[in-house]
Amino acid sequence: MVAAVRLHRGAPMQFAPGPRAVRAGDYIFTSSIYPVDERGHALGVDELRGETTPSLIEVQTRHCLEQLKDVLAEQGTTIDRVLKAEVHLAHADDFYEFKLVWREFFPKDPPARTTIEIGETLPFRAVRINMDAIALAGDSKLERQILRDPELADPIEAEAASLAVRAGNLVFCSGFAASDFKSGITVGKQRGFPNYGNDAVAQATVGTSLEQALECYLYESDLKTFYDVDATGLRYMPVPPCRASMGVKGLLVPKACFIASLTVLVPDMEHVKAESREGISYHPVTSRKVNYSPTLVAGPWLYIAGKTAGDMQTVHGAPAGLPHHFSDIEVQTRWVMEFLTRQISANGSDWDHCHQVRVWLTQPQRDYRGFIRVWREYFPDPACAPALAYVPAMATMYPGPLIEIDPTCVLRG
């Protein structure tokens, strides 16, 4: 019998309706962390001192990482137990100085990390970075295991991040481009897919493979490559993971087509990857031959694919003839949340057992307020909300959706 996983929600965020972090079993999931002060103003530098001061990205990165330390301390753990981080930079040019600060906080055995370029689209003006993380609880008996493979290029010098990190039955993989981490892209269109998701690491080190992928955040700078990436992925994942697929402003490696940020299962008798078709009105594989699973269960964990306000044929939005009478983002957000409520309930969970929700907006500066208004309808008490990880994006995989929402839950009882 699979043991139930209990949730513990941390202190509320200051400027968003959710907790700073949620503990689910042995893991801590944080909400997005921003470099803002107690008034919600972006941390800045003394511009009159010019180049004699630290750079803006250095100041803001250090503040985020200090905040991460504080959030984890509230949950009884430390920054050296971080397993994976998602980092969103306004400008890819800032990555090098971001990395210098990152190394200070993770000088040895750094966590896995996915880093994308989002433009100046975060909800706080003049903010150049946000991040969220997954960490191992301080009292957990699980081992934090850095995964390496001698056949793959070592990313530590270039990225200051590990290929993948395992804790318990979950492997958290970095979202890296198909690179040798020395000269840039080394793998072309015809050869490159084995780099997808660090399959070699998983097979050689922990006895799992991409067939056991549970969750994938797929980021592409050119959506014209989506079909090729999607179709090729089926060769490696016959039962594909739950997935959210987004167009973003840029990736860190020039000419990279995509990166995939993966969570992979190490199966055992109590943790078996199983697809469910409960609570959905269509399946993407049969409806449009798009290769992802809407729902996966693995032991106590319930993974739900990113959901937009549509069925891959139509988009549910405000009336086109009344563009100023209704809020399109509120209509779409409400539709998605209603759909996800039914789907989560049909699979043995509910919002009370949801520990993290990742949200992408394709018109972030216009639509963030509207999204938050609907979010508060579902979670009027921030202490009862899941951790909220927010990512500005450029587009979803087909025109029309303004929002994609991806919840992760545990099963009831």
In tens digits, the chain (413 residues) has pLDDT values of 567 788 999 999 999 999 999 999 999 999 999 999 999 999 887 777 778 788 999 999 999 999 999 999 999 999 999 999 999 999 999 999 999 999 999 999 999 999 999 999 999 999 999 999 999 999 999 999 999 887 778 899 999 999 999 999 999 999 998 888 888 875 554 333 334 444 434 433 445 688 999 999 999 988 888 877 777 776 777 889 999 999 999 999 988 888 999 999 999 999 999 999 999 988 887 766 788 999 999 999 999 999 999 877 788 888 889 888 999 999 999 999 999 999 999 999 999 999 999 999 999 999 999 999 999 999 999 999 999 999 999 998 888 999 999 999 999 98
pLDDT for 122:
96
Q: Please name which of 110, 54, 109, 53 lies closest in space to residue 87, comparing C-alpha atoms.
A: 110
pLDDT for 193:
37
Alpha helices, DSSP H only, in 248-303?
284-288
Per the CB < 8 A criterion, the answer to whether 44 and 52 are in contact is no
**How many angstroms separate the first and last alpha carbons of the chain?**
11
d(CA 394, CA 216): 18
pLDDT for 303:
98
Specify the 3-state DSSP secondary structure of 11.
coil
Listed in sequence order, the residues at least 6 apart from 206 whose beta carbon sits closer than 8 Å to its beta carbon are 145, 147, 166, 171, 266
